[in-house]
Each structure stands twice: as structure tokens, then as C-alpha cells.
Amino acid sequence: MFSMCTALTTQNSAGDVYFGRTMDFSYPLDPEFYIVPKGYQWKNLLNTHRIKNQYSFMGIGQNLSPVTLADGVNEMGFAAAVLYFPGYALYDPPAPSGSRQIAVASTELVKFLLSQCASTDQAASLLRAVRITGVKDPVTEIIAPLHWIMADSSGKCMVIETTSEGLKIMENPIGVFSNSPDFPWHMANLRNYMNMSPSQHTEQNWGAFPLKPFGQGAGTFGLPGDFTPPARFVRTAYLKSHTPIPDNREQAVNTCFHLLEGVSIPKGAVVTDRGTSDYTQYTACISLTGKEYFFKTYDNSHIVSVKLPENCGPDIRLLGKLSKPVRFQEWK
């Protein structure tokens, strides 16, 4: 069972940082939106440590007893998201009995990092001191193979992968992420598409025979258009690299959604061996500078925004399910 997602970071002309992702999954998620306060305490899934939140944060996830987040941002403008990593992910074994080292389940790593870290550098340092362990996901009933992307309001972006070679925390200079293969492979693969260009090809002569482009877009001939992780990584990197830098908040959010639309998957385009559609269940864009979430779902393209409040209260707060009935504005 594989799943597909794509993530990216982008900035506007003022340097404000935005973090976006598609959530592509073949199981019904029915995601919810949560706000989690600073000072809140919770037990890790292996029930070995009690963790106290150093920062308040918000994100999208599910209440799987406890609440599990797929993506989120905290009050310091640090964000993280989890994506599937089949065929490569390999986790640490549980810590020996009595160990003081915190064992963090792969499915709770986003929540853990958001609760403890103000920046990607701090997260990288903390990750080297914990054990990332595999715990069965109650949705799929397997130990999900995962890897992670994180970014902060400085614009720095990093990825986290745990493989047979151990823990790797790598800077992400292109600000794009997808699924397998591993991140270094995707970065090397970009060199196969160096000839891609938004410019139109000029007329050429092959001998005495003139050749003219069929129409606009000839410079992108060869850009992969399928939904495999390598294709989505290349396509997103190309689109991001050639999209004009937005001037303000509204343009930045629209740009983020437009970029992710280039890799969004409609129902029926990708079908699993279980006969279910792997499709984009929601798309999110987060302002790391403004600590503001924007999201839309497969069944409702209206963009909803949520701003992290200064006072988040004493307990986890459920704002509601992302899925809402679609309503059309009627002109008369």
C-alpha cells in the first residue's frame, strides 16, 4: 500500500515564507483541524515519557487516541509535514527498558517537533537525541513508511529520512518534496531536466526543411506529466522555479495553491491494488511568517483560513472537520 503527497516552500517579495502540501491518500481520512496550547502535556505512544509543549501550534490530523497531525505550524513559525516513503523507511528499535532517551513514534513526530522546536536547526539538533520508532498506524494497520519536511520563517527548509543508512537530516535548497526514492536521488534527477524552459523554441532548419513549434509550451516538452513521485518532484520544482515571485499575502497563497494544483490527483486517475482511488483529499498552504493556515478539500475548493491565536487555552481544541458542503455563489 503506497500513498502519494507533494510539499513545497515559497516566499513573496517581502520575504514572508509559505509552506504547502497536498495530502494524497487511498484511505478515507476525514481530516480535522486542531489547536494545541503551550504547556499542554501528553504521553508518547510508547508510554515511556511525558512531554510538555514548549510552544502552541495548530495543524491538520485525526484523533486516533491521541491526536495525530500530518502537518502543522507553531507560534515560532516552524512547520513540519509527513509524507509516505515506501521501500526506504527504516526506524530505530524501541529503547531499552529504563532508557532516558525519548522514543518518538514516526506517526507522532510532526506533533513532537512542533511542540519542542522554534527552528529547523533546533529540530535537527533534537532529532539526533531521540529514537524514531515504528508504530502501527490505526488507519492502515501497518507501520507506515514515512519521511518528513520541515521549514521555518527564516526560509530554511530541511528533510528528515531514516533508512538502512541511519538518520539523515538534509538541507532542501529547492524547497520541494515528494515520496520515494530518497531525497538525494530526486535532487540528482533534476539534472535530467536542465533543458526545460518557459521560453518558446525558435524556428529551425533541418537541411532545407523548416521546423516550427506546434504552439506555445515547446520549451517544456519532456516535462513529466504523470503522478509518480519523481514526476511530481520535477514538475513542482520546475513550476516553482519559473513562477513569478508574488508581491503580497493574497498572491502568495494563490501561487502556492496554483503550484500544488499541478500535482493534485483527481479520483480515478490512480487506483490501488485494493481498487481504491489514491487522490488529493486536501491541499494546505501555511504562512510561516503570519502563522496562518489556508486549506481546501477535494469536494470543496473554497479556501478556508485559520490564524493561530495568541491565547490557545489550556487544552487541545478541535475546530472541526475540513470537509464542508460545497456552496456556489449565484449571480443573477
* Longest alpha-carbon distance in the chain: 81
Q: Quick one: which of 172, 220, 216, 217 has its CA closest to 193?
A: 220
Runs of H (alpha helix) within the chain? 109-116, 120-127, 183-189, 229-242, 249-261
Query: Which residues lie closer than 8 Å to 232 by C-beta, 6 or more apart?
Result: 4, 6, 178, 263
Which one-letter DSSP state was computed for residue 220? G
Q: Which of 5, 256, 285, 312 is catalytic?
A: 5
- Identify the bridge partners of residue 151 per DSSP, sorted by sequence position: 79, 157
Distance of CA 27 to the CA centre of its chain: 17
Tell me if residue 312 is catalytic: no
Burial of 284 (0-12, 13-18, 19+ CB in 10 A): buried
Query: Which residues lie closer than 8 Å to 291 by C-beta, 6 or more apart?
Result: 73, 74, 75, 77, 307, 308
**How many residues are given for the chain?**
332
- Identify the bridge partners of residue 250 per DSSP, sorted by sequence position: none
Instruction: Just list the catalytic residues.
Output: 5
